[in-house]
Amino acid sequence: MSSNNASYANHGTLPVAPPDLPAALAALIEQVPAGWVTTYAALAAALGSEAAAPWAGQWMLDHEHRRECPCHRVVRSDGRVGHYIGGQPNRKIALLRQEGIEVTGGRIEPRRLEMVFRDFQTDRPLLALRDIQQALKQRVSLRGRRTMPGLVAGVDVSYRGGEGVAAYALWDLREDRLAWSTTLRLPVRFPYISSFLSFRELPILLELIERVRAAGRMAELVVVDGSGVLHPRGAGIACHFGVLASVAAIGVSKKLLSGKVDLGGMAPDEARPVLVGGRRRGVALRPASGSRRPIFISPGHRIGVGMAERVVRRLLLGRRLPEPQYWADRLSRSAAAGRS
């Protein structure tokens, strides 16, 4: 696999080159004509998913700005002009007024909001990624492991600048100890967008696993920091990882992306089913110690809901997260910060 994070060809399901979303967003903004405004939500829709709106807003404050940049034409859906990378909001307001757009009290005139520019020329790159998720969902198996493994690994990714640091922590369940670990640092170019985490983290995780296998340290099962089947399209990062790495995988996340569960009054060590379409697809579990907040467990691949819960419970040793996931998180953060 290429070390520049661009190729998924060895694994056959993800695109050969992930879409360049920053370039796609910049191209959309260039299409907004003078005298018009657009919104972060409209830009996200043009990219193919409303989930991209928060990232679009953040990109507007971080992008490579130039004097003639039309980014001042992007406002919030409620009419507020929002922040401006080129200076104070007053500078953004002045530029809009120069183009004939009325702004009162920091808001666009309501009539203008009825004329938000949406006529973008776009191939909606995130729609193609949705299709990949839907196709991969068909390859996920919720059958497999029925006995407790002896070796379980955790994987996680932390970030610094434009790089990601992936960590692999191998936990020996027979002796309850960290048996081995390694990290890998690579450039990461795909942004964080909710429900599209796979396309940000899988390139570095899959290369990490190739190196783990070469070292003869592959676990029987891997706990992934993220969702399994508890995902809007039924295929979270733990599913992608399990299928493409050909390994049993469990997703353990700190937030719920999909499904219904009553979290009120949960007692320590209590688990409640998370339902999707009336069927149990995961579990909300409040750890016995370490936190009042639950974690959300769902199968990624080659394991069922019940066995996934059993494994995670066995790995909870006084923390909110199962031990291999805790150590992968800690190791990736330390390596990203330059600490050993």
Short-list 134, 304, 140, 141, CA closest to 233: 134
For residues 43 and 62, give the distance between their C-alpha atoms in angstroms, rounded to a whole number.
16
Contact 316, 265 (CB under 8 A): no
Question: Angle 139-297-327 (CA atoms, 0-180°, nearest 5)?
Answer: 105
Q: Which residues are catalytic?
A: 71
Dihedral sign for Cα 106, 112, 115, 117, please: negative
78, burial (CB in 10 Å: exposed 0-12, middle 13-18, buried 19+): exposed
Q: Please list the alpha-helical segments (H only) found in the chain.
A: 21-30, 40-47, 53-62, 89-98, 110-113, 125-137, 197-214, 237-245, 305-315, 323-336
Dihedral sign for Cα 24, 25, 26, 31, please: positive
